[in-house]
Structure 1
Amino acid sequence: MLPTPTKFTLVAGTGEGHTPLNAFDQALLAAGAGNVNLLRVSSILPPGARYAERVILPPGALVPVAYGALKSATPGERIAAAVAVGIPESGFGVIMEYSGRTSREEAEKTIRGMVEEAFDMRGLSLVTYRVKSVEHEVVMAGAVFAGIILWY
């Protein structure tokens, strides 16, 4: 059984490369999550997890993360990614992730609505809200990445 993460941080980055995968790798590096192995998780923040401005990730570590990402090879296209977490007074929080061919502002507006709907569906009252987003205009091959890293 894996341990339950005790802290979390929000990260985001953009990248350009000769290929969409290289652009995605650059976005991960820019976000501080490029030298680890990401384990994509669904959208629940463990109860009691505390926000950290930054977490130190050992190279090669298996890192739980909820994320939104998008790659594009269409020059001039605008792409964005956002993550947000809502936290009630007590108990678990809810994480949402989003990416699209849109602006950063639209991504943030969309994800705020997603968190509010998730809280309404669960009958929870939103006390704390955190969001992180990025936007990128593709030059050759571009990527955006926004994630909430869960750590120990």
Structure 2
Amino acid sequence: MLPTPKKYFLTAAAAEGESGLTAFDNALLAGGIGNINLLRVSSILPPGAQHDPELKIPPGSLVPTAYGYIVSKEPGQLISAAVGIGFSADTFGVIMEFSGLCGKEEAEKRILAMLEEAFRTRQMELVRTEVRAVEHVVKKIGCALAAVPLWY
């Protein structure tokens, strides 16, 4: 059985690269998570998890992470990515991810709408939210990424 993560942070970044993969890698580096191994997880923040924006994760660690990203090879195209966490008063939180062909403001709106729906569906009260988003105008090959790494 895997341990339950106790800490988290939100990050959003964008970068260019010579290929789609290096654009993604460069966005990870810009977001402070380029030297860890992301294990993509679905979107529940464990009860009691503490926000730690200065969290340092050892290089090479296997890190449960909820993330969304988009890569584009279309110069001039506007891309964005966003993550958000919805918090209940006394139990777990819900994480939502988004990426698309729009600006940061639209990405943030979509995240908030998804969080509201997730809480409504669960019949839980949404007491607050945290959102991080980024937009990027592609020069050659660009990536926008937003993530919530979870740690122990």
Structure 2: unaligned runs, 5 residues or longer: none
TM-score (norm 1): 0.98
Q: Which residue of 1 aligns with 2:14?
A: 14
Distance 1:2 1:82 in 2: 27
Q: Which residue of 1 aligns with 2:26?
A: 26
Distance 1:54 1:138 in 2: 29
Distance 1:74 1:38 in 2: 26
Mapping of residues 1-150 of structure 1, within 5 Å: 1-150=1-150
Structure 1: unaligned runs, 5 residues or longer: none
Deviates more, 1:106-115 or 1:52-61: 52-61
Q: Secondary structure in 2 aligned to 1:48?
A: coil
Task: Tell me the C-alpha RMSD between the 2 structures.
Answer: 0.6
What percentage of aligned pairs have identical amino acids?
Answer: 55
TM-score (norm 2): 0.98
State the AA in 2 paired with 1:90.
Answer: D
Distance 1:36 1:19 in 2: 20
Distance 1:73 1:10 in 2: 26
Runs in 1 of length 4+ with deviation above 6 angstroms?
Answer: none
